[in-house]
Amino acid sequence: MKLDDLVAVSGMSGVFKLAANRDNGLIIEDLDSGKRKFAPARKHQFTPLASIGIFTLEDSTELKFIFRTMVEQMEENPVPSTSGSSKELHAYFRKILADYDEDKVHTSDIKKVIKWFNFLNERSLIDMEDEPEAKDEEE
């Protein structure tokens, strides 16, 4: 599943699939049960995972590239617990993305990335394919 289809919803834990867009909110689908529910825009904020980037010293890096690196490095660099110390989390993130901006990327941001990664990885939803290469193969 591509990150374009997934959203984080404020006030709700986890990640949801975007089922439909309404004028006053979104219909979201639980990834485990498949149940759909309406999340009103006046109560929640929605963030598509595809639009999230991590600040680097130069620019920013898309979340999908961070997730891919985390999957590739899982053997030699296991994902720490979100309850770990701030130093431990930042040391891990330095191995994942060496040039991330430590002034702009806070411990809470790293915890969110790790929580989302664990949630999606447990469900085998992390897409390891590059979109442009997939299109080239089809042609």
The CATH 2.30.30 domain(s) of the chain lie at 3-48
Q: Give the DSSP letter of residue 2.
A: -
User: Which ranges in the chain are annotated with CATH 1.10.10.1650?
Assistant: 52-122
Q: One digit per residue, pLDDT tens: the chain, 139 residues?
A: 688 899 999 999 889 999 999 999 999 999 999 999 999 999 999 999 999 999 999 999 999 999 999 999 999 999 999 999 999 999 999 999 999 999 999 999 999 999 999 999 999 888 777 655 444 444 4
Beta strands (DSSP E) in 31-117 are 36-40, 46-48, 53-55, 60-62
CB of 110 closer than 8 Å to CB of 79 = no
In 3D space, the residue among 53, 50, 44, 41 whose CA is nearest the CA of residue 7 turns out to be 50
- pTM across the whole model: 0.85
| Nearest in space to 126 (alpha carbons), one of 72, 79, 60 | 72
Q: Under CATH, which architecture does the 52-122 domain have?
A: Orthogonal Bundle (1.10)
What is the CATH code for 3-48? Answer: 2.30.30
Q: Cα–Cα distance between 29 and 17 in angstroms, integer?
A: 5
The CA-CA-CA angle for residues 54, 121, 116, to 5°, reads 40
